[in-house]
Amino acid sequence: MAEIVECVPNFSEGREKSVIESIVDEARKIKGVKLLDYHPDADHNRTVVTFIGNPKDVENAAFNMTKMASKLIDMSVHHGAHPRMGAMDVVPFIPVLGITMDECIKMAKRTAKRIGDELGIPVYLYEEAASIPERKNLAYIRKGQYEGFFDKIKYDEWRPDFGPQSMNVKSGATAVGARVPLVAFNVNLNTSDIEIAKAIARKVRFIGGGLRYVKAMGVRLEERNIVQVSMNLVNYKGTSIYQAFEMVKMEAKRYGVSAIGSEIIGLVPMEALIDCAQYYLKVEDFTMNQVLEKRMLE
Amino acid sequence: MAEIVECVPNFSEGREKSVIESIVDEARKIKGVKLLDYHPDADHNRTVVTFIGNPKDVENAAFNMTKMASKLIDMSVHHGAHPRMGAMDVVPFIPVLGITMDECIKMAKRTAKRIGDELGIPVYLYEEAASIPERKNLAYIRKGQYEGFFDKIKYDEWRPDFGPQSMNVKSGATAVGARVPLVAFNVNLNTSDIEIAKAIARKVRFIGGGLRYVKAMGVRLEERNIVQVSMNLVNYKGTSIYQAFEMVKMEAKRYGVSAIGSEIIGLVPMEALIDCAQYYLKVEDFTMNQVLEKRMLE
């Protein structure tokens, strides 16, 4: 059975095409890696890349991209709307097929060590690869951003997992981790009242007492003059897409509002959607081994 | 992009393990072919095999299995409950990925020619590969079965597409064709009244004025003391699974009966299920390119 890992590195350049292409080329160059998508954002001055492949090649591509980013990007002159702390800001490994989270954690640790040792960049392990619970949360690690790191890295609690305990002026610091695939799922409502979307989001999300693996916020869709509950499902095997959908509909009822549509943003594992088909069709005794494409990938 | 074809040959032996294994081995032996499933049925005295792979290797595996079946099976002493006309009874090629129906029709014709020329078996092209409209229907070709073929093959209208216009006593006749994947989908009802399942089946199926690509019948599930509408969706891209499900529920209402579950039998293409998730979640602007596994197979 094939082993396939997904990697979604974010680097701090979203404007200079030649720089972006040179960094992305490091993934293109490796034969066992398939580049699925890359999305430069000029406002954020940041590019999100998605690629997949066998573990060894994915690891090498992630390291080579980090090396190229550290060569071409100078963080001391970087500006952009998105929080960031390094030239290669964050590198998550995501188990996709025939591979466990534990193996992805090992990939993260090996890559982090190489970045620390060979490139002299302080590296923090995050999410499933985190060495202490606080560092599971990327936002916690990145607090204060590039500029704030020069001071905070002096403290014992900010000793990096790999690399020097001092800031790399040109390349900043990098977070490397392992996580399950995210599903970005939004539900559109037939109202323009943003307060309703916000209220529903608060009831649906984990921190509001809602579904365990759901993050949610209310968003206005200006062009359509409607609002949306915008969600991140951080573990679709734990909380299903249909659960999030049905819970939004349930909360919407008290405001006399309906779900008129939904969106899935970016890539989604087939299992997350097939799970919904099984629920709504009430399928008994189904296994993913009945899915032709699952068998083709074995 | 990879080209993948599915092949589901049915041969006339479902009891003798050594014979079954020898025939299935012809698929196992070919490197570019993946055996997904095989299901011997002793009552039917028949085995259904499912394998996938690149067109060339799938074609060779189909021919080699037919050759081995013609060597090991003697139709003149064959008995079984399922209608049959040959040692290798039927060989359908099914486009799965990166390949058109036209290419599968060409595969069917090449394979049929080899079986006719090299094995001296009369071969009839069926379904999408049929040379005349009547032969689209396998049941029409197979009418009278092995025993009846000795007489009917003498008539002009029964001239085979390939091979001799005379019966092969040991191997019978073979049908080779191309078709879209079938989805076998059954809906369970909370009643034991078989007449209700039959009445619903009649309204849902194509020949009763129902959905274009649905065949349906009422079936009793003795063990659970309930009945079922058992359906074949002969083109899931034309008629969706959710349409069949919702139409059964709609018809069930007039009898005060509900759908309490459903079954998907055997293999199903992911798109057939993802289509249902899209419908029930009201997903806007989704494309199959957002499905990770789809991209992995490109």
Residue ranges of domains in chain B: 4-178, 183-296
CA distance B83 to chain A (A): 26
Which ranges constitute the DSSP H helices of B177-240? Answer: 194-204
Q: Which two tokens stand for residue B264?
A: 């998907």
Strand locations in chain A (E): 4-7, 10-11, 33-41, 46-53, 88-97, 123-127, 174-178, 183-189, 214-221, 226-233, 259-265
CA distance B82 to chain A (A): 24
Dihedral over alpha carbons A56, A61, A66, A69 (to 10 degrees): 170
A260 CB neighbours in chain B (<8 A) are: 282
Query: Which of B281, B285, B287, B288 is the best residue to mutate to test the A interface, defined by the most A CB atoms within 10 Å of its own CB?
Result: B281
Helix (H, G, I), strand (E, B) or coil at B228: strand
Q: Quick one: which H or E segment has residue B216?
A: strand B214-221
Catalytic residues of B: 82
Q: What is the pLDDT of residue A1?
A: 59
Cβ of A290 within 8 Å of Cβ of B261? The answer is no
Cβ of B34 within 8 Å of Cβ of A188? The answer is no
A97 CB neighbours in chain B (<8 A) are: 293, 296
Query: Which of A54, A189, A267, A296 is the best residue to mutate to test the B interface, defined by the most B CB atoms within 10 Å of its own CB?
Result: A296
pTM comes to 0.83
Closest partner residue to A292 (CB to CB) among B267, B275, B292 is B267
Percent of chain B with pLDDT over 70: 100
Is the fold of B4-178 the same as that of B183-296?
no
Q: What is the pLDDT of residue A67?
A: 98
B230 CB neighbours in chain A (<8 A) are: none
Q: Which two tokens stand for residue B158?
A: 């029964």
The CATH architecture of the domain made up of B183-296 is 2-Layer Sandwich (3.30)
A295 CB neighbours in chain B (<8 A) are: 34, 36, 52, 267
B273–chain A Cβ distance below 8 A for any pair = yes
Closest partner residue to B291 (CB to CB) among A245, A268, A286 is A268
B255–chain A Cβ distance below 8 A for any pair = no
Cβ of A283 within 8 Å of Cβ of B263? The answer is yes
Q: What is the pLDDT of residue B266?
A: 85
Cβ of B274 within 8 Å of Cβ of A277? The answer is yes
Which ranges constitute the DSSP H helices of chain B? Answer: 17-28, 55-72, 101-119, 138-142, 145-152, 194-204, 241-253, 270-281, 292-296
Closest partner residue to B292 (CB to CB) among A262, A270, A276 is A270
CA distance A4 to chain B (A): 9
A276 CB neighbours in chain B (<8 A) are: 276-277, 280-281
B228–chain A Cβ distance below 8 A for any pair = no
- pLDDT beneath 50, residues of chain B: none
Closest partner residue to B281 (CB to CB) among A97, A276, A295 is A276
- d(C-alpha A237, C-alpha A214), whole Å: 12
A188–chain B Cβ distance below 8 A for any pair = yes
Cβ-Cβ contacts under 8 Å for A185 (sequence gap 6 or more): A231, A232, A233, A241, A244, A245, A262, A263, A264, A265
Closest partner residue to B259 (CB to CB) among A259, A282, A290 is A282
Q: What are phi and psi of A252, to 5 degrees?
A: -65, -30
Q: What does the DSSP 8-state code read for residue B182?
A: P
CA R_g for chain A: 20
CA distance A187 to chain B (A): 9
B217–chain A Cβ distance below 8 A for any pair = no
B268 CB neighbours in chain A (<8 A) are: 290-292
CA R_g for chain B: 20
Complex-level ipTM beyond the 0.85 threshold: no
Rounded to the nearest 5 percent, the helix, strand and coil shares of chain B are 40, 25, 30
Q: What are phi and psi of A39, to 5 degrees?
A: -135, 95
Cβ of A280 within 8 Å of Cβ of B282? The answer is no
In this structure, are residues A188 and A261 in contact, taking their beta carbons and an 8 Å threshold? yes
Strand partners, A93: A7, A178
- d(C-alpha A287, C-alpha A278), whole Å: 10
Taking Cα atoms as reference points, which of A169, A154, A187 lies closest to residue A76? A169
Closest partner residue to A262 (CB to CB) among B36, B264, B281 is B281
CATH topology of domain B4-178: Formiminotransferase-cyclodeaminase; Chain B, domain 1 (3.30.990)
CA distance B175 to chain A (A): 24
- pLDDT beneath 70, residues of chain A: 1
